[in-house]
């Protein structure tokens, strides 16, 4: 299984899961760069996986499916253009052309119907989890996002994380404000600066790296709880309360 980032808009990635002939497209927000990528490589798309309804994730579906007939998998609880297979979480999506199977994880928080797709050592998580960050709570609650991130955190540590945005450098700035003495964060910052200086994505990233560096996955760590309490000006319990405090802190940036 190959996974290629197709840049879209200012900082989106459309992930193409492919071999030399066939591809799955994840969150195709902009048709033009996707169709150009497919045509240049003579690759035929066979399925679309959608994580949530925001325009920068679904805006290219109609144009792409007008040229390539294929199933569109997406959240049942959201309005997804061209969706053929509504999903709630708990299903398995089988892509026979590539011999791949993805488990569907419900991950409400950023939106109420948000889904993630996990399989073959990869997690396509849309706007639920970013490297060193997580999505804003546009529709869901801190409790919902905390539960969603806890489910992701329980995946195998070597799972490769494929978020939908290149937000890592900005997220690292905030993570270092929360946890300035975290050596893993300083190592990750140097790595990402090197990648971005050469125009390369900072993604994918292993879940183990995120557990060591992402303040939104480290809600049980004493260092994060202490930082959250200092920011809030009152004691904060580990877990959900720490997560909610850090998310509100980030929202103020």
Catalytic residue among 18, 53, 54, 146: 54
Statement: residue 217 has pLDDT above 90: yes
Catalytic residue among 27, 30, 53, 57: 57
Q: Is 52 a catalytic residue?
A: yes
Catalytic residue among 27, 30, 53, 110: 110
The mean pLDDT of the chain is 98
What is the per-residue pLDDT for 15? 98
- The proportion of the chain whose per-residue pLDDT surpasses 70, expressed as a percent, equals 100
Catalytic residue among 18, 30, 127, 146: 127
Q: Contact 140/224 with Cβ under 8 angstroms?
A: no
Q: Contact 89/117 with Cβ under 8 angstroms?
A: no
Q: Contact 124/116 with Cβ under 8 angstroms?
A: yes
Q: Is 85 a catalytic residue?
A: no
193: pLDDT confidence band, cut at 50, 70 and 90?
Answer: very high
Q: Is 56 a catalytic residue?
A: yes
Cβ count within 10 A of residue 20: 9
Cβ count within 10 A of residue 149: 23
Say what the pTM is: 0.97
Q: Is 186 a catalytic residue?
A: no
Q: Is 44 a catalytic residue?
A: no
């Amino acid at each position: 299984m190959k996974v290629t980032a197709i840049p879209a808009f200012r900082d989106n990635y459309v992930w193409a899961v492919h071999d030399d002939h066939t591809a799955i497209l994840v969150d195709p927000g902009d048709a033009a760069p996707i169709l150009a990528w497919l045509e240049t490589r003579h690759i035929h798309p066979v399925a679309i996986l959608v994580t949530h309804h925001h325009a920068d994730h679904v805006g290219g579906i109609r144009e792409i499916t007008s040229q390539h007939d294929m199933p569109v998998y997406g959240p049942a609880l959201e309005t997804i253009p061209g969706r053929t297979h509504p999903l709630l979480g708990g299903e398995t999506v089988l892509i026979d052309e590539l011999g791949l199977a993805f488990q569907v994880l419900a991950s409400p928080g950023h939106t109420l119907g948000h889904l993630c797709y996990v399989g073959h050592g990869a997690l396509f998580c849309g706007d639920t989890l970013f490297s060193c960050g997580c999505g804003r709570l546009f529709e869901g609650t801190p409790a919902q996002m905390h539960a969603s991130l806890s489910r992701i955190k329980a995946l195998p540590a070597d799972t490769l994380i494929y978020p939908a945005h290149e937000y890592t450098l900005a997220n690292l700035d905030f993570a270092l404000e929360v946890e300035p003495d975290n050596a893993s964060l300083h190592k990750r910052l140097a790595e990402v600066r090197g990648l971005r200086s050469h125009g390369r994505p900072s993604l994918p990233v292993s879940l183990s790296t995120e557990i060591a560096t992402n303040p939104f996955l480290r809600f049980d760590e004493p260092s994060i709880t202490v930082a959250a309490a200092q920011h809030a000006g009152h004691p904060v319990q580990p877990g959900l309360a720490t997560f909610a405090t850090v998310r509100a802190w980030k929202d103020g940036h």
